[in-house]
Amino acid sequence: MGYEDVDRPQAAPGRVLIQVAATAFNPLDATMRAGYFQKEFPIRLPHTPGYDVAGTVTGLGEGVAGLAVGDTVIGFLLMTEDGAAAEFVLAPAGVLTATPASIPLTDAAALPPSSLTAWQAPFEHAGVRAGQRVLINGAGGGAGGTKRG
Ligand SMILES: NC(=O)c1ccc[n+]([C@@H]2O[C@H](COP(=O)([O-])OP(=O)(O)OC[C@H]3O[C@@H](n4cnc5c(N)ncnc54)[C@H](OP(=O)(O)O)[C@@H]3O)[C@@H](O)[C@H]2O)c1
């Protein structure tokens, strides 16, 4: 691990250049940095970590629709590509969404995988529907906290 200068990525077809406000650090980040999960997430070095991003759009590649320079976005980046522990990151447009207006941009970097997990568990895996009441055991952690409010 080290801090280095790298070239600023350039907007490319289907991709969005983001000036990073913040990234997050999940347990899986630590595991990957320790060299595990190479089979699941093959990474070539040198690699910029940080698969969560919150930031501001500064460039749009050809074919990107629905986003404009200056928009603030969050996203769950592709884990095998360079991440957001940098000033700029290039992201596929399809992994980005608008930043929630109710929380600071930097805080929003903590949302992407944890909020996705908090959504997928009850709605996609357990099939919970509107009107049902459920008990979620252990919801006081990172994933559970994203469902508050
Ligand atoms: N965060 C993500 O992005 C993500 C993504 C994919 C999958 N997951 C999975 O989702 C689960 C939760 O992740 P997380 O990030 O929210 O973890 P976390 O921040 O460590 O939170 C875990 C929560 O579970 C509680 N807990 C632990 N053992 C318990 C027990 N025996 N009975 C009741 N509660 C218990 C903890 O309570 P205490 O604080 O009191 O110990 C804590 O509130 C994990 O299985 C993780 O692998 C998370």
Q: Choose which residue among 23, 76, 111, 114 to substitute to test ligand 1 binding: the one with the highest number of ligand atoms within 8 A of its C-beta.
A: 114
- Using DSSP, state whether 68 is helix, strand or coil: coil
In percent, the amount of the chain with pLDDT more than 70 equals 98
- For 51, the token pair is 């698969």
Q: Where in the chain is the domain with CATH 3.90.180.10?
A: 1-105
Q: Is the CB of 143 under 6 A from ligand 1?
A: yes
pLDDT at 148 exceeding the cut of 80: no
Atom of ligand 1 nearest to the CA of 140: 43
Q: Atom 36 (ligand 1): residue with closest C-alpha?
A: 138
Superfamily of domain 1-105: Medium-chain alcohol dehydrogenases, catalytic domain (3.90.180.10)
pLDDT at 136 exceeding the cut of 90: no
> Full-prediction pTM beyond 0.85?
yes
- Please tell me the distance between residue 31's alpha carbon and the centre of ligand 1 in angstroms: 16
pLDDT tens figures, 11-48: 999 999 999 999 999 889 999 989 999 999 999 999 99
Distance, in Å, from the CA atom of 30 to the CA atom of 25, rounded to the nearest integer, reads 8
HEC string for 88-147:
EEEEEHHHEEECCCCCCHHHHCCCHHHHHHHHHHHHHHCCCCCCCCCCCCCCCCHHHHCC
Q: How confident is the model at residue 147 (pLDDT cuts 50, 70, 90)?
A: low
Arithmetic mean of pLDDT, 124-142:
91
pLDDT tens figures, 54-102: 999 999 999 999 999 999 999 999 999 999 999 999 999 999 999 999 9
128 and 134 in contact (C-beta within 8 Å)? yes
Atom of ligand 1 nearest to the CA of 112: 3
18 and 88 in contact (C-beta within 8 Å)? yes
Q: Is the CB of 135 under 6 A from ligand 1?
A: no
Predicted confidence at residue 77, as pLDDT, reads 97
- Please tell me the distance between residue 77's alpha carbon and the centre of ligand 1 in angstroms: 22
Q: For residue 60, give the H/E element and its range.
A: strand 52-60
